[in-house]
Amino acid sequence: TWEILKSIVYGGLLESIASLGIVTSSASSDATTLNILVLSLANLIGGLFILVHNIWDLKSEQPRTSNETNARVDRYYQVLGKREHFYLHVFIAILSFIIFGLVPPVVYAFTFTESNNKDLKLAAVAGASAICITLLSIGKAYIQRPNTYLKTVLHYLSTGALTSVVSYLAGELVKELIEKLGWFDTKRSSFTLLLPEMSVEKPRFGSY
């Protein structure tokens, strides 16, 4: 049970914050609900490979002797548990990664579908993500020593809130900047990159 909780926290906590940032930045740039869902799923699939790679690196890392206490320190055991339970750790971490990573895009996609109000959708996403981050940070505080519940929860909640705000502002500012520079003609059916010194004109009849 102890190692399962460690694996859940390892797989879900940071991904919950990262997925929240992707949804808020995409929504602020006026991406459609479908595009937000697709981008989040693509990020989730790519992140799975990084997650497995990180766990594998932890397993490959040999225990070291601490210079302060002269005791053997095994980071894999500290983070996940016993090495012989490696495949269990990978399975639980991947499952947690997928579940908590899907919460922000799924909540955004399937709440307030009739009004399609972006602000209400983002509020629902923020509430659901706050619950997930709180639960996971409580779990992290429980498995670490000393148990600093309030400090750990506030740390990750503030990190999630800061990530959400910065992502939202960044998406909005980048969108406005691209529109001012005129790099993409959004009125056309397909995006066309326009360099500053180039102009596109329609040919006039009788000009040849």
Q: pLDDT tens for residues 83-96?
A: 899 999 999 999 99
Q: Are 164 and 191 in contact (CB under 8 A)?
A: no
Closest CA to 51 of 21, 18, 77: 18
Instruction: List the beta bridge partners of residue 64.
Output: 73
Q: Is residue 12 part of a domain?
A: yes
Q: Are 136 and 12 in contact (CB under 8 A)?
A: yes
117 within a domain of the structure (yes/no): yes
Is the pLDDT at 18 greater than 90? The verdict is yes
> Rg of the Cα trace of the chain?
23
Average pLDDT on 48-57 reads: 93
Domain assignment present for 98:
yes
Grade residue 70 by pLDDT with cuts at 50, 70 and 90: low
In-domain check, residue 146: yes
pLDDT for residue 200:
45
The H helix count followed by the E strand count for the chain is 6, 2
pLDDT per position as a tens digit, 160-207: 999 999 999 998 888 888 878 777 655 544 444 444 444 445 445 444
pTM value? 0.81
pLDDT, residue 185, reads: 58
Residue 203 lies in a domain: no
Domain that includes residue 159, residue range? 2-181
In a domain, 208, yes or no: no
Contact 136, 13 (CB under 8 A): yes
Is 6 inside any structural domain? yes
* Across 103-125, average pLDDT: 92
Give the chain's length. 208
**Which distant-in-sequence residues (6+ apart) come within 8 Å of 138 by Cβ?**
149, 152, 153
| Axis-axis angle for helices 33-60, 2-28 (nearest 10) | 140
User: Does some domain include residue 131?
Assistant: yes
- Distance CA(51)–CA(36), nearest Å, equals 22
Q: Facing residues of 193 across strands?
A: 184
Q: Which one has a higher pLDDT value, 182 or 67?
A: 182
For the chain, how many structural domains are there in total? 1
User: What span, in angstroms and rounded, lies between the C-alpha atoms of 13 and 136?
Assistant: 6
Mean pLDDT of 21-39: 91
**Listed range (12-21, 132-141, 174-183, 184-193) with the worst mean pLDDT:** 184-193
